[in-house]
Chains A and B, each alone.
Chain A
Amino acid sequence: MNILREKQFDAIIVGGGGAGLRASLELSSSGYHVAVVSKVFPTRSHTVAAQGGINAALGNVEGEDDWRWHMYDTTLGSDFLGDQDAIEYMCKHAPDTVLELEKMGMPFSRDENGKIYQRAFGGQTRHYGKEFSVHRTCAASDRTGHAMLHTLYQQNIRAKTQFLTEWYAIDLVKSESGKVCGVIAIEMKTGDLYFLNAKVTVLATGGAGKIFKSTTNAYTCTGDGLGMVYRAGLPLQDMEMWQFHPTGIANVGVLISEGARGEGGYLTNSEGERFMQRYAPQYKDLACRDVVSRCSAIEIREGRGCGPNKDYVLLNISHLGEEIILKRLPGITDLARTFAGVDPLKEPIPVVPTCHYMMGGIPTNPQAQVIDVQKGKDQVVPGLYAAGECASVSVHGANRLGANSLLDIVVFGRAAGKHIKGLLDNGYEQETVDQGALNRSMSRYQRWMDNKAGPSYSELRLRLQNLMQKDFGVFRTKEAMQEGLDGLIAIRHEMQNATISDHSKAFNTALIEALELDNMIEVAYATALGALHREESRGAHSRIDFPNRDDKHWHAHLITYTDGRVAKRAVNMKPHEMDPIKLKERDK
């Protein structure tokens, strides 16, 4: 048995991506004892791969923009499943947050006035849907996530933030009263186990796209925070809402930014038709991602796909010319050459809808406090916060607008930091934890170390990914999803006996992958529960058997628990500074 060591903190932040680093920056300058716990060196977090930009109503191009218009677009984009108080908070704070990043040194591209360069992106309008193709997306070439993550890391160096780099958080530790008191974590280099005893724990663990076989997500996007929350008996929200990005490189899954269409690129089918003009005459190729992905999927399904197997569509940018492409889209030009073997200066890029983003997650309020629901009422979980892709505030609802994710992570990472500072300033006390709680939180580590005969973790992981890809893709039906859920329950059962063959201590990556797989299965299970339950089509959740949005029955969040319970939770329709945006059909 591994001896349990202990470290004490005022706050720990699990995850070193944009949300985690923005939260830590807020706290490390305040004099509190804070640490970022990250399973990878922080600049390897998946924020680094974001390309296109970050939305803020700065109006650098049109001269006038308004956060309320941004809010309108975000709400419609969410297919009305986004919480309007949270969306309001995000859009209103977007300009300040972006200007703050610029002042930290983020190398934004510039316009001819020397201001931050802004490009067009999907789903964006002015004057509440009356004027299309607005330039609201602030960009650092097509490497905006890289520029942001490195800037935030650099600022944390300046602020002397403490990092526990290549430490992996296994499970939350709760006191008897239900307060979260930190995590059990493994120092990967030595294999030693620690109780990181913290008054406040922030989950900023990112997405979980690796539950699908084909995804733009990193290997490390395994839903670790979600698994921890589920196992702690807390709910997950809207997990059926997975965004399929219209332009993942066919057969590889690597992302080609929406910025390619923002700069003037367009999609064509095998007949050379710009098919988005037919489906969405106003937005065209800059319709919301759920819409474009469905249209591409329909084109492919109806036989108008390209290539020998007619299984992809084409993204054309060559008409933009070499100068624009190399200036504005150099990163995706490299990716297309490396992964698709095509030169986008001359030829179109083969693309397909590819799993990209998890709109659902750990329910929180706009202060990033984690929410449990008791007897139909929201209850704050003491000591626990969540921000970024792992959280469901919910600003993205059923479909996220492009360039709202980089915004989400910095706005709510900052909000978490500020709220925690207020809490600690008022003398927030830690509760005691008994040995039983610690043992419970170490139990799955022990299971992997003890299991000697059973299926290998890698075999079960592949089965899980294939199942999710087959049964929970762009279009869904009850039959396929029921079969999928049954399969998931079987895999979950087999996991109890699953094995790794490496039981050594030093940097045991098989153990880490196995622990990640525990989390992936919980995320997949939550996805299946929500998707089967929601009998309508809304945003990214498209059911062939229920093709329409049904506000009367389903204008509600769905929360699910690890024991299979499913419940509805009201969508917030009460912004503070403007009239609520009323339910209506989305514009095309």
Chain B
Amino acid sequence: MQVTIYRYNPDFDQKPTYKMYDVDTSKVHGIMLLDVLEYIKANLDDSLAFRRSCGGGVCGSDGININGKNSLACITPFKELPEKVTLRPLPGMPIIRDLIVNLDQFYTQYNSVKPYLQTHSNPEKEHIQSIEQRDKLDGLYECILCACCSSSCPSFWWNPDKFVGPAGLLAAARFILDSRDEEKESRLKDLDDLYRLYRCRSIMNCTTVCPKGLNPNAAISKIRDEMIKSKTTCTEPHHEHD
């Protein structure tokens, strides 16, 4: 297998380069692309930098761009990839080193939707929530914040400081649709903005790449539905400034 990897070390590189590694996959312990990266780091080049933790697709550390498509290295079987593979850091994000990107802006947008339950009631035991009410959170709460979606979204590339992005909006929907939350109106009001919510153009890159099979695009549609239902209206722009 020929693995070509984007390399950049700010300590001494003026500009990034690509380095090719010839890997005998029969020597790799495991079946995933992450195992190939681990093999390269342990046996060929310990200076290759990438993030990883759980190795099972639940921690969201190892989102990278694999032959042009964002995914998690730890749940991508290398046998399903072509003989020549090119790995790049997640697109549209500042690069710290090699495959490691700076996710500060991504996290800032996540924080901006107040991703925590807001209630004023304090029941003696648990809040009562029916199975049907709880079902509405399925497909929303499972997000692992790997950033594969937001870093594949052109609207996020252009306006990372103003557009919440698919991951942040998925988190917003998770709380807007939680029967226990009592701040639905203020949440909707906060998103009722040309950029924060309405920069989404429904091109579906987010849903195509989500390694957990979630559908941020559908979550954004649900927020729009709730927006209409709550009768808050979006101000139509006179001019769009891109």
Contact = CB atoms under 8 A, between A and B. Distances in A.
Contacts of B129: 110, 114
Contacts of B141: 107, 140, 147, 150
Interface residues of B, number: 58
Contact of B97 (A107, A112, A507): A507
Contacts of B107: 41
Contacts of B144: 43, 48, 146
B54 A107 contact: no
A388 B101 CA distance: 30
A105 interface: yes
Interface stretch (B41-49, B157-165, B190-198, B233-241): B41-49
A458 B46 contact: yes
A154 interface: yes
B127 to A, nearest CB: 7
A502 B47 contact: yes
B53 interface: yes
Contact of A105 (B56, B58, B117): B117
A186 B16 CA distance: 25
B146 to A, nearest CB: 9
B78 to A, nearest CB: 13
A110 B134 contact: yes
- Binding site of B, secondary structure by majority: helix, strand, loop or mixed? loop
B120 to A, nearest CB: 12
Given A147-B141, A458-B46, A504-B47, A46 B125 contact: no
A510 B41 contact: yes
A459 to B, nearest CB: 8
Contacts of A107: 134, 137, 141, 178
B54 A500 contact: no
B28 to A, nearest CB: 13
B2 interface: no
Given A458-B46, A504-B11, A507-B100, A99 B54 contact: no
Interface in A99-142: 99, 102-105, 107-116, 140
B47 A510 contact: yes
B130 interface: yes
Nearest to A138: B126
A254 interface: yes
B30 interface: yes
A255 interface: yes
Given A218-B53, A510-B41, A338 B115 contact: no
A219 B46 contact: no
Interface in B121-147: 122-123, 125-131, 133-134, 137, 141-142, 144-145
Nearest to B213: A334
A510 B46 contact: yes
Contacts of B97: 506-507
A102 B50 contact: no
B59 interface: yes
A252 B31 contact: yes
A157 B115 contact: yes
Given A49-B59, A219-B52, A220-B53, 14 more contacts: A102-B127, A108-B134, A110-B130, A151-B116, A157-B115, A157-B116, A255-B56, A461-B42, A500-B46, A502-B47, A506-B9, A507-B49, A507-B97, A510-B47
Interface of A: 40-41, 43-46, 48-49, 99, 102-105, 107-116, 140, 143, 146-147, 150-151, 154-155, 157-158, 189, 218-220, 252, 254-255, 331, 334-335, 338-339, 456-458, 461-462, 500-502, 504-510
The 6 closest A-B pairs by CB, nearest first: A105-B117, A458-B42, A114-B128, A502-B47, A154-B116, A510-B46
